[in-house]
Amino acid sequence: MIKRNDIILIMSILLISILGIYAIRMLDNGYTGKTAVIIIDGSEVSRIPIDNTSEEKTVSFNFRDNVGYLDIKDGAVRMKEMDIKICPEKICSETGWISKSYESIVCLPNRIVVNIENGKAVEDDNNLVDDISS
């Protein structure tokens, strides 16, 4: 038999859960100043600001004597498909667009990770090969 205190406890847990989900969505969706962080072999090599413009741009980066490419558009980023000799499974390019701080693109054969961070964007041009506008 459910008692009055049980109902109060259940309702409190539901309310806290709903408020938590709402707070996370508000913080992540409306936040500007997102940055794509490229990590290769466990070391951060580049931070690329992701703006919310509708114009798509392509950024390239070096890794293990190869070049990788990221597409950036509407506050999101995706890995372009690499040659089958470099990335045989192509899981990283099939991940698609990521835009939230809890999403990542991972390329295991090449030890590449692309994360999204919220906060003030800091661009590190020293490690970028080129910024190609399409």
Which pLDDT belongs to residue 124?
Answer: 45
Read off the pTM.
Answer: 0.64
SS3 (DSSP) at 62? strand
Which pLDDT belongs to residue 28?
Answer: 56
The average confidence (pLDDT) of the chain is 82
Sheet strand arrangement including 66-73: 76-79, 66-73, 57-63, 128-133
Q: Which residues of the chain have pLDDT under 50?
A: 120-129, 133-134
Which pLDDT belongs to residue 120?
Answer: 47
* Measured distance CA(77)–CA(89) in Å, rounded: 20
CB atoms within 10 A of CB 23: 10
Which pLDDT belongs to residue 2?
Answer: 81
* Measured distance CA(60)–CA(80) in Å, rounded: 10
